[in-house]
Amino acid sequence: MTSPESESILAYAADLTREDVTTLETFLNTQLGRVYEVVGETGETSFAMQSLLILVSDSAGFLHGLLRLEQPDSWQRAAIVREWQRLRSTAHPFNHCEGFNYDRWWNQVQHYDATDERAESERIIRLADETVLDEGSAPTE
């Protein structure tokens, strides 16, 4: 199930395409590559940059694999949201750079689809109701 909004606005992880992941990964590699050139190839900062580039690649690769699934399980749906958010939040500090796609990358994606969003809302309401009932039945002194 995809969001009813325009295709350019990303509301749910179910709306993600492999092209979205590739484009975001490429953007990140470009920006991190620029920083890496300034940092140089020696020292701890260089090692940290190399590690960050590896994490971006691993996260994008995992996300590509998850997006190939036609009917992802609940843990896979959660992983899709998490990995997209990980890449998106890594790119966010570079939002002033050419190539940053505000429509697709700016908004935080919190749910896989509308069904997951409704289920989460219902779960929160149930927990709130249970808490109120538990507090109401507590003995008073």
pTM equals 0.77
Query: What does the alpha-carbon distance between residue 43 and residue 46 come to, in Å, rounded to a whole number?
Result: 5
pLDDT tens string 50-78: 999 999 999 999 999 999 999 999 999 99
Residue 141 has pLDDT above 70, yes or no: no
Query: What does the alpha-carbon distance between residue 94 and residue 28 come to, in Å, rounded to a whole number?
Result: 8
pLDDT tens string 101-130: 888 887 888 888 888 889 888 988 888 888
